Amino acid sequence: MKSKYLILIFLLSSSFSLLFAQEFPMGGENLILSEKLKNTKVDNEFGKIEMANAENTLALTATTIKQPKFVYNLSIRFPLQTRNIVPDQPLLLTFQARTLESSKETAEAKVAWIFRQAESSAPKDVIEKAVSLSSKWQTYYLPFKALKTSNATDILAMHFGFTPQKFEIKNIQLLLYPVGFDFAKLPKTKITYAGMASNSKWRIEAEKRIEAIRKGNFSLSVNFKGKPIKNASISIQQKKHYFRFGTAVSTVDINTNPKYLETVEKLFNTVVFENDLKAKAWSIVNKQPATIDAINTLKSDEILVKGHALLWPGFQYLPEVYFENKNNPDKIKQLIDSHFKSILSQTKGKISHWDVVNEAYTNKDISTIFGSNEILFEAFRKAKSFDPNAKRYINEYGILSGGGINITKQDWYFNFIKEIDSKTNGAIDGLGMQSHIGTDLTPPTTVIEVLNRFSTLNKEIAISEFSIDILDDDDLRAQYTRDFMITAFSIPAVKEYLFWGFYAPRHPKAALVDENYSLTKMGKAYRDLVFDTWNTKWEGKTNEKGEMVHRGFYGDYEYSVQYEGKEYKGTFALMPNDLTAIKINLK
């Protein structure tokens, strides 16, 4: 008979040790036979495990060299004591771990724990949760209940066949508790981050900065036959933000899904195409018209379109012809030139800004062919030449994620942007920080520090691909989204905040709406900020001079004036560095 798996792929990380300091209850028996584990060897083409004694415990260093086809192709099985286990009997898996290296955008390693019991096969009993390991030593707790009666055939295994990574793990215990033990008393890993409190200092200071930098003063004066009208009823309502709030979209959904398009129009003023403007997709010539149609649809709705990405310099992200000509630099240059000419000529005047180079830190194939980064610098010059009105960005991951502690990569990104600026005579206008957040939630104070540092480059900053890889705590997703948005919005250099998708069936990590297009808790956090807290509306009467003076968030407004039984409507724009004084002449 086939076996049923209780798959414990769990959310494993936090920024603080406070919640991990809890002791697990007495009375549990450790089922893992550590002495036998010492004789277990894992070493193959995909990765390996090295074992060492550390602090009177067996410590494992796991390395994934390359990702196998299946995650279980790289795994280790833990020998267990034979015990009679009955359904619903409490168990607790606990261990300490930390990430050493990661190729993930979240900067975290991944593990999947498998507990298998005999006489179990129903798919409905498979449980899956997100997988992440913090960059700092943390203690993790995962309580679960046995599914079936079992004994000698129980298996505990750890799968780590994910993208290249390296992590350490120790003090691994699988504790079996007696029948009747109160399951609620078992500890469970709870993710937190510094600065969650509503009265946190960073929050108070950020809100003050938002008030100062994201709002401006304006006045409306009402006249009738050249004379000011006092006590005229007047109301204003902000209809659109100057700041770019947006999401990743697809050509197919924009062109064929009316509800999807309606939601985009309702929630965002900016979009970026997730894949349709990348070199691989654009090389499929018969699909280009559909993408242009989608762009035109969005522009007709006054939604800005960001291009992503002109040059992603890794072979796996380029049409196969690039790899086929890896030993022919002239041909590679010709391919790049041809692609730029094709896509930039067809989209000229339709794209507000481009990610010219994407993820250059880990994708070096193109630079290696030419022996330098000059080909990347030339990409910025070429983009400016073809479409000078579209701003030019670089885009990178791992700058704000993973606790924000990857100083090496931050330093590289900072200096590389300076080099691009110098080598291209200022052809770079902005920089993207993807912000695919894992479970090692970067504290707002750290986000502020990093953003402030990069602000000294005097370039626009975009939060370009925000998502959260925590799928089993909606309240935490909502709170961290709110805090990350407040943090970013409070920094003057930040001009854009893009979610990497919004529709749960497509992008669960950035789900602002569910499968029925109803707002999720994360979506409500977004809506409350963008359309309430950061949205200006006002009603009142003109003063003795026929004026109303107010302060509001930058963007587009509608006004309505009531005078002698008639309503007069109009619009105005409130922009940074403008003296906005609107004169309304009633007729």
Q: What is the pLDDT of residues 254-280, one digit of tens each?
A: 999 999 999 999 999 999 999 999 999
Instruction: CATH number for 4-185: choose from 1.10.645.10, 3.40.50.300, 3.40.50.720, 2.60.120.260.
Output: 2.60.120.260
C-alpha angle 147/149/154, rounded to 5°? 80
Burial of 262 per CB tally in 10 Å (0-12, 13-18, 19+):
exposed
Q: In the chain, what are the domain boundaries?
A: 4-185
Phi then psi for residue 545, to 5 deg, are -90, 10
Q: Supply the pLDDT for residue 350.
A: 97
Q: Which residues contact 352 (CB under 8 A, 6 or more apart)?
A: 270, 304, 305, 306, 390, 391
**Helix, coil or strand: residue 199:** coil
Q: Are 127 and 28 in contact (CB under 8 A)?
A: no
Using a pLDDT cut of 90, give the percent of the chain over it: 71
Rounded CA-CA distance 519/516 in Å is 9
Cα dihedral 304, 305, 306, 310 sign? negative
Query: What does the pLDDT look like over 87-123, one tens digit per residue?
Result: 889 999 999 999 999 988 778 898 988 887 754 433 3
* Torsion region of 507: left, alpha or beta (phi above 0 gives left; psi -120 to 50 gives alpha): beta
Q: Are 487 and 206 in contact (CB under 8 A)?
A: yes
Q: Supply the pLDDT for residue 36.
A: 85
**Helix, coil or strand: residue 63:** strand
Q: Which residues, listed in sequence order, are joined to residue 32 by a DSSP beta bridge?
A: 80
Comparing C-alpha atoms, which of 203, 9, 66, 109 is closest to residue 438? 109
Structure tokens at 556: 């587009």
Rounded CA-CA distance 100/113 in Å is 19
3-state SS track over 105-138: CCCCECCEEEEEECCCCCHHHCCCCCCCECCCCE
Report long-range pairs for 285-290 (Cβ below 8 Å, ≥24 apart).
287/251, 288/346, 290/251, 290/252, 290/255
Half-sphere exposure of 490 (CA within 13 A, CB side): 21
Cα dihedral 487, 492, 494, 499 sign? positive
Read off the DSSP letter of residue 21.
Answer: -
Rounded CA-CA distance 519/506 in Å is 15
Which one-letter amino acid corresponds to residue 296?
N
Dmax (CA) for the chain in angstroms is 96
Read off the DSSP letter of residue 571.
Answer: E
Q: Supply the pLDDT for residue 131.
A: 60
- Strand 244-249 with 391-396, pairing: unpaired
Rounded CA-CA distance 456/360 in Å is 21
Q: Supply the pLDDT for residue 387.
A: 96
Rounded CA-CA distance 62/159 in Å is 10
Structure tokens at 366: 């193109």
Q: Which residues contact 197 (CB under 8 A, 6 or more apart)?
A: 203
**Tokens 């018209």, located at residue:** 289
Structure tokens at 161: 């066949």
Q: Are 199 and 28 in contact (CB under 8 A)?
A: no
**Tokens 């066949």, located at residue:** 161
Which one-letter amino acid corresponds to residue 94?
T
Rounded CA-CA distance 157/174 in Å is 11
Structure tokens at 79: 């020998």
Distance of CA 92 to the CA centre of its chain: 31
Rounded CA-CA distance 480/447 in Å is 12
pTM: 0.81
Q: Which residues contact 164 (CB under 8 A, 6 or more apart)?
A: 64, 65, 66, 67, 101, 103
Q: Supply the pLDDT for residue 488.
A: 98
Q: How many CB atoms lie within 10 A of CB 176?
A: 22
Residues of the chain with pLDDT under 70: 1-23, 54-56, 118-131, 151-153
Comparing C-alpha atoms, which of 354, 363, 359 is closest to residue 395? 359
Q: How many CB atoms lie within 10 A of CB 39?
A: 8
Q: What is the CA radius of gyration of the chain?
A: 28
Structure tokens at 163: 């993208």
Q: Supply the pLDDT for residue 483.
A: 98
Structure tokens at 202: 């960073």
- Strand 227-228 with 555-563, pairing: unpaired
Structure tokens at 351: 């794209």
